[in-house]
Amino acid sequence: MKRYRVAVIGTGYIGVVHIEQLLRLPGLEIAGVADRDMNLARTVADRYGIPRVYADAEEILQDGSVDVIHNCTPNNLHFEINSRAMEAGKHIFSEKPLALSAAQSGQLVQLAQKQGCVTGIGFCYRYYPVLQEAAARIARGDIGTVYNINGCYLQDWLLYPTDYSWRLDPQMAGASNIIGDLGSHWCDLAQFISGLKIEEVMADVRTTLPVRKRPKHSQALTFAGATDTEYEEVPVELDEYGAMLLRFEGGARGTFTTSQLAAGRKCHIDIQIYGSEGSIAWNHERSAELWIGHRNEANQVFFESPNLQVESTRKYAKLPSGHPMGYMDAMLNLFSDFYTAVELKEAGREPGYRYPDFQAGHDEMLVLEAALRSKKNGMWSRVQT
Ligand code: SOE
């Protein structure tokens, strides 16, 4: 097998998550990293024994020995790095959102086709083993016709006016904070698990705290809170609360609520899918368990298992039964599917499994834009195709 040379651009919270999982995968080496903050890039490279710190993203794009780029930069840099990586003939794994607009993400999908690049996007939550299992069971008809999909994604790290992040700055984050960020994860889960596309959206999106105190000398790292004691007041336009009514293809209805002001909720993802013959539900705080609901018999709790899952999803349950996997392992599963797709592509073959590629990223941009249109005009909005 070829040994792929990988470079990671962006060494903040999510860049480090990528690095730690890349180090667990066979058949690749991390050639180097880059970050606007050189000191951070150096510290991270030293910590993980990564041989090279590139001067910037440009130097990575020019390096012909790099096969794959992981784009872990803030949102405003996604489009440019993703497109330039593909133009340079590299495979590309991007953090979400794929770009700042659906027009841009559509261009990226087309470019990937033209260049024959393998693409991936960070919708990691679908890689908990029992969520792969849920998708397979629903596809084989276990819960019948899907009627409703309901849930939420709640966090609390932006609760106080002194919590500030680049995610609240439209120059860096784009037109939305929370619907684009947490909403895209949840909508990806809903569509992946149910196998149904979201067709229409009615959204209520709010900036609950329109003025925040931004630290003068530092920025809060995601989930960390600020350490600075000097602040300046800044107006905030982007959302940290959102609710959506959803209409799925075939008629299923959905509801989704998201907030980063939900005290005590750190990464609370909940999804419930109700069908004509039964239901399934999952919560991130008990991520190894799938709840299976019945009308006429006792409900079940299915624990992830390499023995008991259906054939196609066993590979994602990597530990012996009774040993729960976690977020890092879900990322590993995602990268594993992505790198298998890279290997297959180079052998002239296509993967026979579904994994989140740039089309999945584009689909979420289309849902986001429908939500933002609905926020503006107060009406149902169709997701464009
Ligand atoms: C912040 O809300 C964040 O880091 C998201 O950007 C990630 O995608 C999510 O996995 C955890 O929360």
For residue 209, the model assigns a pLDDT of 98
In this predicted structure, the answer to whether residue 335 has a pLDDT above a threshold of 90 is yes
For residue 69, the model assigns a pLDDT of 98
Does residue 120 sit in the same domain as residue 256? Answer: no
Residue 181 CA to ligand 1 center (angstroms) comes to 7
Which atom of ligand 1 is least distant from the CA of 185? 8
Q: What is the DSSP string of 52-83?
A: -B-SSHHHHHH-TT--EEEE-S-GGGHHHHHH
Does residue 43 sit in the same domain as residue 140? Answer: no
Does residue 314 sit in the same domain as residue 223? Answer: yes
Does residue 35 sit in the same domain as residue 131? Answer: no
Does residue 267 sit in the same domain as residue 164? Answer: yes
Rounded distance between C-alpha atoms, residue 310 and residue 224, angstroms: 39
3-state SS class at 5: strand
Which atom of ligand 1 is least distant from the CA of 14? 4
To 10 degrees, the CA torsion angle through 45, 47, 51, 54? Answer: 10
Does residue 190 sit in the same domain as residue 95? Answer: no
Domain holding 98, by residue range, is: 4-124+333-356
Residue 181 beta carbon below 6 angstroms from any ligand 1 atom: yes
For residue 324, the model assigns a pLDDT of 96
Residue 295 pLDDT class (50, 70, 90 cuts): very high
Q: What single DSSP character describes residue 126?
A: G
Residue-wise pLDDT tens digits, 337-349: 999 999 999 999 9
Rounded distance between C-alpha atoms, residue 335 and residue 324, angstroms: 19
Residue-wise pLDDT tens digits, 98-152: 999 999 999 999 999 999 999 999 999 999 999 999 999 999 999 999 999 999 9
Residue-wise pLDDT tens digits, 235-279: 999 999 999 999 999 999 999 999 999 999 999 999 999 999 999
For the chain, what is the domain count? 2
Mean pLDDT of 308-335: 97
Residue-wise pLDDT tens digits, 220-237: 556 666 666 788 999 999
* Residue 82, domain CATH: 3.40.50.720
For residue 217, the model assigns a pLDDT of 76
Residue 313 beta carbon below 6 angstroms from any ligand 1 atom: no
Residues 132, 313 contacting (CB under 8 angstroms) = yes
Residue 222 beta carbon below 6 angstroms from any ligand 1 atom: yes
Residues 27, 1 contacting (CB under 8 angstroms) = yes
pLDDT-above-90 percentage for the chain: 95
Does residue 228 sit in the same domain as residue 305? Answer: yes
Does residue 51 sit in the same domain as residue 100? Answer: yes
* Residue 368, domain CATH: 3.30.360.10
3-state SS class at 242: strand
Q: Which of 5, 309, 252 is nearest to 134 (CA)?
A: 309
From residue 114, how far is each of 92, 93, 111, 353, 362 by CA, in Å?
14, 17, 5, 22, 16
Average pLDDT score over the chain? 96
Rounded distance between C-alpha atoms, residue 358 and residue 249, angstroms: 21
Does residue 233 sit in the same domain as residue 262? Answer: yes
Does residue 118 sit in the same domain as residue 259? Answer: no
Does residue 314 sit in the same domain as residue 368? Answer: yes
Does residue 309 sit in the same domain as residue 177? Answer: yes
